[in-house]
Structure 1
Amino acid sequence: MPAIGSRGGSASLVRASLAIHQPPTSLEGGLGGRIGQVEFQFNPSQLQLTRSASWSAQPSVGYARGAPPEFVGAQPASLELEVFLDASAKPGASKVQKKVDLLLSCCEVYPPSLSTNRPSPPWVRFSWGSFNTVQFVAHVDSVSATYTLFSPTGEPTRATCNLTLTEVPLATKGQNPTSGALSARRVHRVVAGDTLQSLAWREYGDATGWRVIAEANGIDDPMRLATGTELLLPAINDTGG
């Protein structure tokens, strides 16, 4: 497969990243608030993207070499990628282990989700500039970490992580009787200190998304949020982000 990008530090001004989000609380839910993000120090040297379709053929005596197949549906995409982490130039840095732990947590149940009807590991979204083909909501099937360099105290300073992501299909807008409505939402109860900007940053990683929250809740004055008010927070795919 041809290489995409480069590990060279100056090969690209746009860095790939993996955003890690809270899982939804229902089957119709979209991405929840951002838990963390792994910024790639070096862009991947290659990405392996797989898409497949399912076909079915019923035996029939009318065909000498088998009946024509019938398309029965598309399968979620899968993406395999490598994350290279290196802090060897910064003695005492613990960023490598923290990032590896964050990636490994994507295969463990997100603790706050235990109190919901759908305990789940976090969901993720890989992004790399304008490469839209690989930018989809996904869950992490596997993470393998290989540590290749350590400090005198045994702290890992270099590691390579191989990830396998599987696309999470989201409902297409307008395919249900409530066509035109937001495809998925979360509910947040306002607490002291909350602002629309802070909620947008927490949910989408972008404070300018406050306008979407305001519109979804019919808020005319974004500076006045009453404590205890329940706000609908549109899923990230409804924000245009």
Structure 2
Amino acid sequence: MPPTSGASLVKARLVIMEPPPRVGAKPGGKLATVKFQFNPNALSLSKSTEWRRQPARMAGSASLPEFVGSGPRTLSVQVFLDATAKHDNSVEQRIESLMVACVPTKSSIAKKKPASPWVRFEWGTAKSVSFDGVLSSLSVDYSLFDVDGTPLRATCSLSIEEAGVDPPGQNPTSGTEEASRTHRVVVGDTLAQLAFREYGDPTAWRVIAEANDIDDPMVLVPGTELLVPLADGGGR
């Protein structure tokens, strides 16, 4: 569908924000807004689901899959940079502004809890590709240089992984929902892995260990159901 006649061009941008002050909280204040020099000509959005299937006793049949959960959305986008008309090192400056999203913020370092910023891709009224997440990868391909070696043209490939926030009403004082859930152990599971999946912090495995009276965190029996306290349920 062609653009509406007379409508102004809306530029895409990447909003860089302080990481949440605690598990389950929303991202903090805005650190920077990186405006795209050119709008992307393609966006790639993916989302996965995880299923568990018990081995079937009969070779000719298959067991019903059990839904475990859905994975985060992942947005992949390319940013094209061109400074051939200005020669003002804007390519390197813009790349440095994107690199900020890959390193811990000063405030998180000061609190002795290093964490990289959260980001959100925004482009007009688009909703499906606009969500809070973290920059999981950033690669740069330089394709043109000035006579003195200054980069004049580059393509940046970004991958943003959704970082969800638990919905409200999970605090036990609210009385609306349980403050924990269960997880059935499968081969390869570890408490650190489960803690990272639930809280974003693998060192929080002790919360799950205490809730299940686990003495040895290295021994998890497949098929065992673990009680997993929710982030807002006072477990941490």
TM-score by length of 1: 0.64
Deviations 1:67-102 (A, max 9, x none): 1111111101111100111121113x1322111011
* Cα distance in 1 between the residues matched to 2:46 and 2:90: 31
Label 1:12 to 1:96 Cα distance change in 2 as closer, same or farther (>3 A).
farther
Aligned length: 172
* Among 21, 32, 42, the residue aligned to 1:46: 42
Aligned match of 1:131: 126
Q: CA deviation at 1:62?
A: 7.7
Aligned match of 2:62: 66
* Among 123, 127, 152, the residue aligned to 1:157: 152
Label 1:41 to 1:122 Cα distance change in 2 as closer, same or farther (>3 A).
same
Letter in 2 for 1:151: D
2:21–2:27: 8 Å Cα contact kept in structure 1?
A: no
Give identity over the alignment, percent.
41
* Among 3, 9, 21, the residue aligned to 1:25: 21
* Cα distance in 1 between the residues matched to 2:85 and 2:7: 20
* Cα distance in 1 between the residues matched to 2:59 and 2:68: 20
Q: CA deviation at 1:166?
A: 0.5
Label 1:11 to 1:162 Cα distance change in 2 as closer, same or farther (>3 A).
farther
Deviations 1:34-68 (A, max 9, x none): 11111112111111100011111123548951211
* Among 101, 105, 113, the residue aligned to 1:110: 105
The residue correspondences of 1:175-194 to structure 2 (distance < 5 A) are 175-177=170-172
Label 1:68 to 1:128 Cα distance change in 2 as closer, same or farther (>3 A).
same
* Cα distance in 1 between the residues matched to 2:100 and 2:173: 36
* Cα distance in 2 between the residues matched to 1:51 and 1:83: 22
**Other structure's SS at 1:96 match:** helix
* RMSD of aligned residue pairs (Cα, Å): 2.6
Letter in 2 for 1:136: F
TM-score by length of 2: 0.65
1:16–1:129: 8 Å Cα contact kept in structure 2?
A: yes
1:18–1:125: 8 Å Cα contact kept in structure 2?
A: yes
The residue correspondences of 1:142-153 to structure 2 (distance < 5 A) are 142-153=137-148
* Among 71, 78, 84, the residue aligned to 1:82: 78
Letter in 2 for 1:51: K
Deviations 1:213-235 (A, max 9, x none): xxxxxxxxxxxxxxxxxxxxxxx
Q: List gaps (5 residues or longer) in structure 1.
A: 180-241
* Cα distance in 2 between the residues matched to 1:76 and 1:12: 33
Q: Which has the higher contact order (CA 8 A, sep 6+)?
A: 1
Letter in 1 for 2:99: L
* Among 90, 98, 123, the residue aligned to 1:95: 90
Q: CA deviation at 1:143?
A: 0.6
